[in-house]
Amino acid sequence: MSTSGILIEQTLSIFIILLTGVICYRTKLIDDDSNKKLTNILLTLAQPILIFTSFQMDFDIDLVVGLLISLVLAFATHIVAIIISYIFIRKKKRKIIIENGVRTVTYVVNEDAEVERLTGSYANMGLMGMPIIYGIYGSVGVFYVTAYIIAFNILMYTHGVIMISGNRKLKFRDIIDRFKSPAIIAIISGIIFFVFQIKLPKVIYQSLDNISRIYAPFGMIIAGATIAKTDLIKMLTGNLRRYYIVFLKLLLVPFVTMLIYVWLPIDETIKMVAIILSATPTTTIGTLLTIKYNKNSVFAAEVFAMTTLFSIVTIPFIIMIAELLM
């Protein structure tokens, strides 16, 4: 079966699990507190274990080269998204005023420019992207995704924090602290085990592998519960500016990325992982940062919900085009 065929099946599965998360929240089976706790379990336990076990493979120089290429593409993917967000999201935005039947176009200060750029630049590659990649490419796919987690953490907590906070005096300790996260520790540990071919005893590996399998379904349930927290009708019919950010994040960024990557003479799996991750919804961390720095967190949360919802359709669309071009 082609990648797009697998992705369509995977997308339908994701939609069903997302819907399950919506139902769980609406029926009070999951509330805000339990949703937060589930997220912590996934990010501090299931995700690191999934990352670590993905490195439990026989040493292969092609995998090492692929990981290094993925790291380059990871930074390139983020930089492409950042450049696009700066080009298409300005400090001033156009506003149309109709008074006495006269249509006037004026420009006003865009107070949410930083929030829009943040949500347009940084994707939910871990919580949303990794389950999709794992479902299509298995452990090898997760192996390559680790490069994007490294790039995301470096850029989000340097460029992202500086942009959203307006404080250019970033403390070096703050950056180092981000590398104490469970995901980064799992990557470093996994690389050490991979390079020195330290294999876990079978019973331990199987136990960890079983734990890691909860990551994909529970990640989607959490995403569904998060969507259920919003007023969908109001969100979808309200401020049309949100659709502009959704277009940039889910279509323009991955389309430009795809046009750059499809021609590269590298392994197809590496290219497809990069393209899929570039098409994932905006990151949840963006919403947390807007809360921390007193920005428009409601707007950020709504963009997250909308991009998560629409990505069910846009990701397969991007992948099908990529397959035609490859």
Pick the more confident residue, 154 or 263: 263
Full 3-state SS string of 191-252: HHHHHCCCCCCHHHHHHHHHHHCCHHHHHHHHHHHHHHCCCHHHHHHCCCHHHHHHHHHHHH
pLDDT at 106: 72
pLDDT category at 326 given cuts 50, 70, 90 is confident
Q: How many domains does the chain have?
A: 1
Residue 173 confidence (pLDDT) above 80: no
Residue reference for tokens 């298409």: 88
pLDDT at 16: 85
Residue 164 confidence (pLDDT) above 80: yes
| Residue 61: exposure state from Cβ atoms within 10 A (0-12, 13-18, ≥19) | exposed
Provide the CATH number for the domain around residue 114.
1.20.1530.20
- Overall pTM surpassing 0.75 (yes/no): yes
122: containing domain: 3-325
Mean pLDDT of the residues in the chain: 84
Give the max Cα distance, the chain: 78
